[in-house]
Amino acid sequence: MPRGRRTPARTRTAAGYAGLLGSAALAAVTALAAAGCTSAAATASAASGSDHSLTFAEAEAAYGSYLTASDAAAAQGNATRGEENVAYAQWSIVSSQYTALATARTPVPRYRYGRPVFYVPALAGYPQWFMVAVPRAAVVEGKPGAAVNTIMVFERHDTDLPWTLDGVAVLDQPLPSIARGKDGYAIDVRTTESDLLLPPDVLGATQAAVVDDGPTSAAAAVIGSGPLTTGLYATQNAHASVAAARGLVYQWLLQGAPDPQFELRTANGGALVLYSMLLTTTTAHPGLASGSPIPVPAGFVPLLAAPTEIGYHQVFADWTFEYAAVDPPATAHGAKVQIIGADGAPTFGHAY
């Protein structure tokens, strides 16, 4: 479970946990999605009513406050302040980045933002949340790098609780058109929605089956290939081959994080889904026997509990990821879920 600040759980299902998704299970999930009777139009009608607990002006103010606070924390290299405005997987990522940068005596990156586009769901009551799509460029030594299209999700659980940045994904594909009601508000989608190719609450587990088992997994029938699915499997499999050549055993597992996930209806009746995942990896001597020290990957050295930790038996090097996926409507013939963006960082290291 990610370490750090936790905010109250939303009354929504977190991303599914990884496991071996067999053909029968996959067929059942696909059949359930195809048999759904809740239409996108019905969902839009229900979600875009007149009760809006969050206005666009309030979302813009929360976003502006976050940019000011996070930039001030980065300028000062102040981890405590930097962690105050983030939660869930984003807390784990930010906290570990501050630790690694402080160890390397490297300044914390600051960002330059372009014009934001706000997607505010038409929801009544709490929790409140909204998404921002914005070009973002890291500033290094006073010079901004190339801007990348980024989505950021903010959430507040109650009126007396602060807004936090709960998720970030850097897009490597275009953001799909997001459906809006007549009043301009976006349309929230349930995690159990049945008119999509996959109910959003099993999307993470299905992606994980491809990352863990590769393109021959039954889950590959509904998850598109790419750098964040089959590509991630190829990378991990290559690590395993290198370890085996050294007489070591390398294992990996992508699994769901106990964090909220967020969904918005797309204009074609599908959904944009944002969720967190944990990639746990181990490199060990066979049978965990004692042997020559196993190198700790450079990015994980600052995250060790003590600099004296040495991997005579095993080394853990774990990542936290945040993903953005497009889940097509169940009626889309031959379509697959496409992972269109991600963000992540090393968040746990241990050697013994």
Give the pLDDT confidence score for residue 27 in this predicted structure.
39
Residue-wise pLDDT tens digits, 218-242: 999 999 999 999 999 999 999 999 9
Give the pLDDT confidence score for residue 66 in this predicted structure.
97
Asked if 62 and 163 count as a contact pair (C-beta separation under 8 A), the reply is: yes
Long-range contacts from 288-294, C-beta under 8 angstroms, 24+ separation: 288/313, 288/314, 289/313, 294/248, 294/351
Give the pLDDT confidence score for residue 38 in this predicted structure.
34
Q: Whose CA is closest to 18, among 208, 223, 275, 199? A: 208
Rounded Cα gap, residues 312 and 285, in angstroms: 8
Give the pLDDT confidence score for residue 9 in this predicted structure.
32
Long-range contacts from 174-178, C-beta under 8 angstroms, 24+ separation: 174/149, 174/340, 175/133, 175/149, 175/151, 175/272, 175/340, 176/266, 176/267, 176/268, 176/270, 176/272, 176/326, 176/340, 177/266, 177/267, 177/268, 178/119, 178/264, 178/265, 178/266, 178/267, 178/272
pTM: 0.85
Rounded Cα gap, residues 195 and 189, in angstroms: 10
The single residue listed with the structure tokens 């807390």 is: 91
Bridge partner list, 339 = 325
Rounded Cα gap, residues 20 and 110, in angstroms: 40
Give the pLDDT confidence score for residue 34 in this predicted structure.
36
Rounded Cα gap, residues 218 and 24, in angstroms: 9
The single residue listed with the structure tokens 């929230």 is: 188
Asked if 345 and 317 count as a contact pair (C-beta separation under 8 A), the reply is: no
* Full DSSP string of 265-324: EBTTS-EEEEEEEEEEEEEE-GGG---SPBPPPGGGGGGSSSTT--BSSEEEEEEEEEEE
Give the pLDDT confidence score for residue 52 in this predicted structure.
83
> How far are the Cα atoms of 89, 176, 189 from residue 38, in angstroms, in the given order?
31, 21, 11
| Residues of the chain scoring pLDDT < 50 | 1-50
Which secondary-structure segment (H or E) carries 157?
A: none
* CB-neighbour burial class of residue 59 (10 A; exposed 0-12, middle 13-18, buried 19+): buried
Rounded Cα gap, residues 124 and 48, in angstroms: 10
Report DSSP state, residue 165. E
Report DSSP state, residue 220. G
Instruction: Tell me the one-letter amino acid at 124.
Output: A
Residue-wise pLDDT tens digits, 9-45: 333 333 333 333 343 334 333 333 333 333 333 343 3
Give the pLDDT confidence score for residue 144 in this predicted structure.
86
Map out the domains of the chain as residue ranges.
23-351
Give the pLDDT confidence score for residue 124 in this predicted structure.
86
